[in-house]
Structures are given as C-alpha cells and as structure tokens.
Structure 1
Amino acid sequence: MGKLQSKFRRRSDLYRAREEAGSAPAQQVLQYEPAHSDAVNCVTSLTSDLCVSGGCDQTVVVYDWRAGRLCQSFHGHSREVTKVSCFPGSTWVFSASRDKTALMWDLSRGQQPIQEFCGHELVVNGLAVSPDGSKLCTGSRDNSMCLWDIESGECLQRNTISRNLVTHVCWVPRGTSIVQTSEDKTIRVWDSRTWQVTNTFPAKQYIQTHCDVSANGNHLLSSSNGFSGQGCEATLWDLRQPGCKVVEYRGHLQTTACCVFLPPSLRGPALVASSSYDSSVKIWDQNTAVCLFTLSLDGSGPLVSLAAGNCSSLLCASFNTGLHHLHLGQGATPDLREVARF
C-alpha cells in the first residue's frame, strides 16, 4: 500500500520520452522519483514550481513538480502527517500530524523544525496561516480550535465545542474569518479576533471532509463523504450570505475528499475541481455545476487531496500511487490528462 508500481527511469530517459511523445499514439505518463514511501495524505502549492506534501511515512516533502525533483524532506513528526500549509511568498512550511502537534519548517534553515505547536489532545486535522503570517490556526478531533502566535509558539486562544471533530480549516483571504468543517456535518465561521463562532451553516446530510475559500473571499466550497453515490457531493456557498447554498456538484460515487477553486483562465468559465475515493478527479463549471471533464486514475485508490499548481496544472495526492501532475486544458470545454507521477 502506498508503493509506486511503475519502474523509475533515469532523467535522460524522461527527456527522451518528452521528445517522442508527439509521435506516440497515447502520451506516456512520466514516472519520477517518488516523493513518499507510503500513502500521501495532503498536498499544497508553495510556488509556481514547488509543492509541499505530507504522508503516512511521517515526512513532509518539498518537490519541484515541473522538473520531477525532490528538493527537501523534513522529518520531525512521530506519526503520519495529516495536513500541510504554506505562507505565500515565504519559505515557511507548516505541518499537522496524528502525533497531536503542528510543526513549522523553513526551507532556508535546514531540516529541523523551527517552531512547535503543542496542546491538542488528539490528531490535528486543520491547519491554516493568517493572511499576515503572524498567526496559525489549528483544529483537532479533540473538538477544539486553537490560535497560535507563530513567532513565540504560544497558544493565544482555545475554544472547544461539543462534537466539533474538525476535518479542515481555511483562513478567508485578506480577512479575519476562519472557516472550518467538521464530522458533525456542520460548517462554522470563526472570528479570529474574538475566537467565537459568528456563523453556523445548515448541517449537511453527511460529514464535511474539506473546505476551500475563493481568492476574493466571496465563496466557499465544502465536500461530503458518502457511498454508492449517496452524499459524495461538493457544495458552493455564498460567504456574503452565510448559509446560502448556491449549487451542488454531484457525480462522484464515493466520498469526495477534496474540492478546490481553480485559478481563473483568460478563456472559459470559472472552474472548481474535486477528488474522490472513487479514484476520479472532476472539473466543474463553478456557476452551473455542470461536470465538464472526469479523469479516472485507475489503481490509484482514494484521491485525498488537490492543489492548483497554476492555471493549467493540478496536483493530486493518492493513497496507492503517490502524487500526480495533471494538465488542465483551457477553453470552453476543458480537458484533463495525467502528465507525471512522483
């Protein structure tokens, strides 16, 4: 489980594969050095070239997905890594783990964590950095949300709500609000200044697994678990009218583990992407909820996390086959194809 199945090729062979791809009847998926030795739980973008991932091998990895090259590995957690986050424009990387802690790393300061955030009693599943880079928000299965000072590592605020088993957290861009999903099927909006819940969305039918906030801070995506096509949807909400459901994206057959807004392109509609335990990634028209394209990654197992590399690249974390680089074709009817695995 979590081991890559294909044989790895030398870099010279990879370049040759690129040159020959134009004449091949089907484009070959490149296999790079694997980022992890076990299942990958999460991935996010650090820069336009680098992604950060965490896995069951207890490792945080920085990877150049364009070149297919591992840049840095961080070892500090004693159990599997559940979430990773970055602060845009910096070399800071944050990770959360089943070991009940969150750690801070700096690419420019070696392989040891530069800050540790301890205080949760169970696995940490939520991790988000404030827009100004001064605070870190964490959420846990211990029903608590914590706010930390990044420089000192001090816990500034803690609030525990019964049955609030946190699954994911997002800081609203350029704002003071934090959105979190929970196993109690509820979405909550927090005010980081008072550390109180300001809005609670109507409970969905199934556990909410993930959330993402649009770049302009106006909309929220959440995803649901489920089985046999029941549940399994992603939902678009209007944050300006808390609790106002805009559309639902239905089509996955198993738990929808992740949903993200995609960067806008010069052509075509606004897009969102979702990944599922059914081994598929779907691209949706954000406003009409029409499924524009489905890519099945057979044999990959559950697809647990997505991150936009840029407007034409999508990174996907899988349970069986590592990380996948997907190319998103632009236009009125986007297509999606797998380019590489690592």
Structure 2
Amino acid sequence: MRLFLLGLILIHFSAISQRTVPPGLLKNWKKTDITRIDGSPYYDPETLNVDFDLNFVSKDSVDLFNSGRLQRIRYQVLEDSIIKVSTLRMKIEELSEIKLVLTALESDELDFRLILSPKHLYDLTYTPEAYKAKNGEVVFISESGRVEPQFRHKTMTPVDFIFENFGFPEYRKGGFVVRFVVTSKGDVTGVKVVASSNNRFNDKLIQAVLKTKGLWEPAEFKGEKVSVEMEYDFNLGYEDRKITSQVDSIAYSKMYLDYGTNFIKDGAYRSAFNYLKKSIDYNPLNIDAYFKHAEVSFALKRKEDGCESLSYLLLLEQKKAVPLYEKYCK
C-alpha cells in the first residue's frame, strides 16, 4: 500500500491514447474511506490515516494534495473506465454527483478500494474555527486535511521549505513558533514570530516564510477561496534522545511478513510458517499475514493452524476468508 501512495505522489508519466473523460469526473475529490476490493476493512493505521485530495483539473491532469503539498500529475482514461496514474491503474466503479469509487485491478496484485466525495460536500460535515480580521475579512484557522492552503512544490512540504531557508545552525538548540496568513488570493501576509528562544533569529525565520510567496494556492471551503491562518512550531533540538527498548511492532510485522512471503516463493514452507506466526504476534491486525499463514498451514497439512488463522480473519470481517473457511474447516 505504501508503494501505491508513493507512486501516486512521486512518479510522473506522459499520457498517450487518451479516451473521453467520464462526465462528472472533473472536480475536486476528497478521500473519505479506503477498504479492500471486496469491501473488507483495513486495520493498518498507516493506510487508514493517509489523507489526500484528487482534483481532476483537465482531461489529462490531476492535482494531488497530500501533507500540505500540491503536485500536478498526468493521467489517462483507458477503455473499460480505467484510469491510469503513473503505473497505477484504477477502475471507476462508481461515479455520481456525490461519490467516486476507484478500485485497484487485482491483476496488478493490489487490493484497495478508494471512496471519495466532492470536496465542497465534505466541507459541509464540519465547521472550522475562524475570526474576523481588522479589515473585516474572515480568516479560518488552518486544520490539516480540512481547511489549508496548498503548497505547490515538487519535493518539499511548506515546513521543510521554510526550515531549509531558515538556516538555523545545526549545532544550536532553539524553539520558534511562526504565524502568518495565506490569503484568498494566495498572498502571504501578517508574518509574525509569536514565540522564540532567541530573538536574534526571528528576522531570519520571517524572511524564510516570505520566500514561500508565489508558491501557495489558496484554501477552499464550500467551493469558495478563503484566507487561512497558518502556524508552524519549530522545535530544534530541545527534546533529548532517550534510549528505549521499545520496537515498532507494525514495522516488525511487515518485515516478518516479507520474510514469510519470500520463503513461500522458495518452497520453504516450514520457515515461512514460523516467520508468518511472528508477523501475527507483532501485529494481530495484519490481514495479509493471516491469509499467508493459513495458506502455508494447509500446505503443511496443519489444518488446525490454518483454520485458526481463517477464524481470526472472519472476526476481522474479511469476506475472502468466508469461502476458504467453508471449504477447509467445515
């Protein structure tokens, strides 16, 4: 799944043999949910929590907005309502005034189903904080994934860009909070350092923020361009590193899943069995590990272990596990 997201964000391609764009596709869509192709839920927080917008601005260009950064990517519409973005192919399963459903092709060995809604309709589901400026203009408080201006840069988020141009010495410790407004026209105004551990560097930080001028697209709320107040906190070296014995259980689970999958390809099922069990132990919500563990268990004629993995998949509402359980465990 991470490869899909990175491919969606980073890779650019040249479109060829473009077909007619389906009516209703050319609008700004907000990702609201992601499931497996059959509708079964995901439990991987890294997948569930990824937030992005897809704004189909023309018949061959889509703006991807993710982590505060805006990037324009080329896409194609192929036969059978298939959209190709980079090397990723998705089928338009449903398209209406209120919903877009994109499904990965199983032939590409990807398993996800994206549900999106028009951004202006999504905006009706919440009320952002706002205040009235001295000039009478309403200014919204930035909220990630909801109301925020878009920073158009190929490689950097706005925080990275400002930090890069700040030039704060690496050997020093410091803490700074900077606040500014990106107007409804994309201008940068009202830059102010509201907290600082060393006032000598305040002007440098302000100048770094001003260098973002010309790189912002204004935020939109309910289809209207709006002004938004931004605030970035730069905590530079104040948090001491602590030695800990804790491990990233999600990362370890994925690592052992990869080991197990490779052992299956080599026909080393006993080793695969052991590594897949470790993968499940580190993350009891790793769906793919359960499926692979069941596969290996049945290959080793360990029916009880295989049925145990399938039973957990049933508890996790995985639809593909139902026929397998009926076939092997009843």
TM-score by length of 2: 0.25
More strand by share: 1
Mark the structure with the bigger radius of gyration: 2
